[in-house]
Amino acid sequence: MARVLVTGGTGTTGKALVRMLRDAGVPVRVASRNPAAGDPDPIRFDWNDPSTHGPALDGADRVFLLPPVESVDPLPQVGPFLRRAERAGVRRLVLLGSAIVLPNAPSAVELAAQVRARPGGVVLRASGFMQNFLRPHPLAEHIRRFGEIRTAAGDGRLGWVDARDIAASAAALLAEVSTDTRSDYLITGPHAMSYPQAARIITAQTGRPVRVEPLTQEEQAAAYRAAGLPPEFAAALAAVEHGIKEGREDQVSTAVLELTGRPPRAFAEFVADHAGEWAR
């Protein structure tokens, strides 16, 4: 029976997507570097080990594609997989891309272009994940420990989106290959929001005072390095925050509503769902 291959199937978006597809009766193969022993159809998948790619694609006619994380140059690893997927007869491929283009990362743009150009290829350009406010993300850890958000984004706004809405959008595209679709969707929440606004919402709904500590771009890059991110990726993320400060990422869309039939969750709803995360 044809199935959906979900790469990154044990991650934040992947787990939600797997659950939604299985609830709809869609066969799913969960691919990850460390497959869950209790899953009914797990398989090992590692971008750095091409020998795992063929077995993962065996019997799959649809693929959810999560590129290597913390990489500014994913195309050398993902490009050969795309060609292999085409030879294997994959009819629908949904790439989880980003609405935010990292500086000095042209291959991410080229990867998205290659997916859009192939029959059945769709790119979901997701805005900032609301799940960044949850542990173990460094942003969430700092809120929990110190009651503050340290950022170089100033009052700049971003169309924060819940990963569950990203997963629901992907599920709508993967459940039925015959679904008429565009090749590109900007996936955001219902409103653009700044970090100071996020801090006020968390404070109001949880009673935990949260303040914003402004940083320079250089200070934020150093903080990301200290949190364990590779230096090149840390510098790129800090540059993104500077772009947010300048208003480059202040955009929202109706794509979640178009794909799923319901509006995306607002940040206040997200905070209500996870209120205990920011306790001292």
Predicted pLDDT of residue 279? 80
Cis status, amide bond into 136, omega within 30 of 0? yes
104: pLDDT confidence band, cut at 50, 70 and 90? confident
Q: Is the dihedral of CA 221, 227, 230, 231 positive or negative?
A: positive
Lowest mean pLDDT among 54-63, 100-109, 267-276: 100-109
pLDDT at 97 over 70: yes
Opening angle at CA 181, ends 178 and 185, nearest 5: 145
Structure tokens at 4: 């959906």
Note the pLDDT of residue 72.
84
Q: How confident is the model at residue 39 (pLDDT cuts 50, 70, 90)?
A: very high
Among candidates 116, 124, 158, 92, which has minimal Cα distance to 260?
124
Quote the pLDDT of residue 1: 65
Please say if the pLDDT value at position 123 is more than 70.
Answer: yes
Q: What is the pLDDT of residues 171-208, one digit of tens each?
A: 999 998 877 899 999 999 999 999 999 999 999 999 99
Neighbours of 125 (CB within 10 A): 19
Give the H or E element holding residue 96. Answer: strand 92-98
Question: Which of 8-12, 62-66, 134-138 has the least mean pLDDT?
Answer: 134-138
Mean pLDDT of 49-65: 97
Side chain identity at residue 59, one-letter code: G
- 209: tokens are 């005072």
CA distances from 7 to 15, 93, 142, 189 (A): 10, 11, 30, 24
H or E, element range at 94: strand 92-98
Predicted structure pTM score: 0.96
Distance separating alpha carbons of residues 222 and 227, to the nearest angstrom: 9
Tell me how many helices (H) and strands (E) the chain has.
Answer: 11, 11
